[in-house]
Structure formats: C-alpha cells, structure tokens
C-alpha cells in the first residue's frame, strides 16, 4: 500500500498536466462546432473535396460530420493520440524509473516481493489513467452540451469516450512490457513517441488504403471505429477481445521478466 500511495503522489502532477491538455484540446476543437453547424452544407462540400483516402485517414465521415457526434469523432482521433502518448509514457516509466533515479537498490532491499512492487505500480498507473478518463469525460460532456445545436445520444457519446480508456490501457500495457526488456533505460520519451506515432501512422495508412480487417490488428488506433459505434451502438467484438488479450499478455510477460531480471541503478 505504501508503494501504491507513493506512486500516486509521484504521478499526480503529470496526470494533472495531461488531463488539462486533453480537456484543452477537446475545448479548442469543440468551440469550432457552432460556427461549422451554421454553415453545415458549405463545410460538408469543403470536406467532400478532399480525396476519400484523406478523409478516411482523418476519420471524416460525410454522413455524420455535421452532427455533434460526427464532428466529435473527427477530432477524437487527435485526442486518442495524445492519450496514447500519456499512457505509453506512463507504462514505460513506471517500472524503469527506479533505475533512472538510482533508487532501485533502495526499493528492492525492502521486505516486499517484486510481484508486490509490480502490482502496486501497475495499480497506481491504472488509477491515474482511470482518473484522467473520468475527469476528461465529465468536462467533454459539459463542453459538448454547451456547443450542441441539437440533442445527441449520451450513450453514444460515452461509448466514444470510453474508447480513449481502452486505447490508453493497451498502450500502458505495451509500455510496461517494453520497459522490462531494458536494463538501463535513461529516457522514456523516444520509445513512447516512436511506438505511438508508429502505430498511429500505420492506422492512418490502413484507413486511407483498402479496408482490410486483418491489417487493422497492426494498430490499436484502428480497433475502435467511431463510425461503426455510431451506426451500431456497439464495439467490434473481435478487436475488443484483441485489445484485452494484448493487455493481459503484456502484463503477464512483464511480471515474469521483472521477477527474473537483474536490476541495477544507472551509473
């Protein structure tokens, strides 16, 4: 419990910054919606002039773009990108920071098992991701209801926002499993940005090309199709299960490797 509380305190500031950044990003884009809604047809024609692959890569669906949910789905890809960076950065750093900060020896001589250490750190990271999503959803709901020009489904809005939580869990788990393979990880940002932007670009290229369901497994950003959610009020089960498998497998591997690896403070 002490490790868990210590991690919560150490992650408090960064979580606050990321949460405010996500809310600010949503507010910036949603503030445009009332103006867009007034000239909906002109805006739709403007976007219609974009090549179909470009619209697909940007998450633009002309059938829904003039509604608040359709507009939100277009900007939501940028929000999930930022959220994924937060989660990946957190995942990579949560187990490796003891070596970077030269506190590994101090922590590991305590009368607690490595399994307990990993569990406490993962729980703290999960808590911060959960807090981020709860606060973001609360503020985004207020913003959406403030700028709306017509009623929209609160259920669908919640389901769209929930995909941010799912994607963050996937990248959190990927970050953790990546970090345990490094003995002396001095900087987490290059790895975090590399993995997140790499998978995001892959997802954008897949969206712009032929809609190959099998290829979508390569990018977690493509696991949750917002247009599909709006049309069917549900998630695609196959990709939802895939995301769960990635999270569970990554966590299990992290436990196994962390319990066996030699951990030294950075010289």
DSSP of 44-65, one letter per residue? HHHHHTS-HHHHHHTT--TTTT
Residues 6+ positions from 6 with CB-CB distance below 8 Å: none
What is the dihedral angle through the alpha carbons of 163, 139, 89, 60, rounded to the nearest 10 degrees? 50
CA 102, CA 216: separation in Å to the nearest integer?
Answer: 40
Question: Between vectors from CA 193 to CA 190 and to CA 199, what angle results, nearest 5°?
Answer: 130
* Band of pLDDT at residue 239, cut at 50, 70 and 90: very high
pLDDT at 266: 47
pLDDT at 209: 64
CA 149, CA 35: separation in Å to the nearest integer?
Answer: 10
CA 40, CA 149: separation in Å to the nearest integer?
Answer: 11
Residues 6+ positions from 218 with CB-CB distance below 8 Å: 199, 202, 203, 206
* Band of pLDDT at residue 71, cut at 50, 70 and 90: confident
CA 264, CA 105: separation in Å to the nearest integer?
Answer: 7
**pLDDT, tens only, 88-113:** 999 998 887 766 555 555 555 566 78
Percent of the chain with pLDDT over 90: 41
pTM of the model: 0.88
**pLDDT, tens only, 192-211:** 899 999 998 888 777 666 55
**pLDDT, tens only, 140-175:** 999 999 988 888 889 999 999 999 999 999 999 999
Q: How many CB atoms lie within 10 A of CB 213?
A: 11
Percent of the chain with pLDDT over 70: 85
Place of tokens 């506190």: 103
3-state helix, strand, coil in the chain (%, to 5): 75, 0, 25
pLDDT mean across residues, the chain: 84
Long-range CB contacts for residues 67-70, cutoff 8 Å, separation at least 24 = 67/150, 67/152, 68/33, 68/144, 68/147, 68/148, 68/149, 68/150, 68/152, 69/152, 69/153, 69/156, 69/157, 69/160, 69/230, 70/230
pLDDT at 205: 79
Three-class secondary structure assignment of 101-135 = CCCHHHHHCCCCCHHHHHHHHHHHHHHHHHHHHHH
pLDDT at 84: 95
């Amino acid at each position: 419990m002490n490790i868990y509380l210590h991690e919560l305190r150490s992650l408090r500031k960064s979580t606050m910054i990321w949460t405010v950044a996500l809310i600010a990003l949503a507010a910036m884009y949603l503030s445009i919606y009332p103006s867009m809604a007034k000239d909906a047809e002109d805006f739709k024609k403007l976007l219609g002039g974009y090549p179909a692959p470009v619209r697909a890569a940007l998450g633009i669906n002309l059938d829904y773009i003039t509604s608040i949910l359709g507009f939100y789905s277009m900007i939501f890809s940028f929000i999930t990108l930022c959220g994924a960076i937060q989660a990946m950065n957190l995942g990579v750093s949560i187990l490796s920071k003891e070596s970077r900060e030269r506190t590994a020896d101090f922590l590991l001589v305590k009368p607690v098992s490595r399994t307990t250490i990993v569990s406490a750190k993962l729980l703290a990271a999960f808590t911060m991701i959960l807090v981020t999503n709860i606060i973001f959803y609360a503020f985004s709901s207020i913003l959406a209801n403030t700028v709306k020009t017509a009623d929209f489904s609160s259920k669908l809005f919640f389901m769209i926002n929930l995909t941010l939580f799912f994607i963050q869990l996937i990248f959190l788990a990927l970050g953790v499993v990546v970090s345990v393979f490094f003995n002396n990880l001095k900087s987490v940002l290059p790895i975090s940005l590399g993995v997140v932007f790499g998978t995001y670009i892959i997802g954008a290229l897949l969206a712009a090309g032929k809609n190959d369901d099998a290829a979508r497994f390569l990018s977690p950003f493509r696991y949750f199709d917002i247009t599909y959610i709006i049309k069917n009020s549900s998630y695609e089960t196959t990709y939802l299960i895939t995301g769960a498998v990635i999270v569970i497998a990554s966590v299990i591997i992290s436990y196994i490797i962390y319990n066996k690896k030699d951990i030294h403070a950075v010289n």
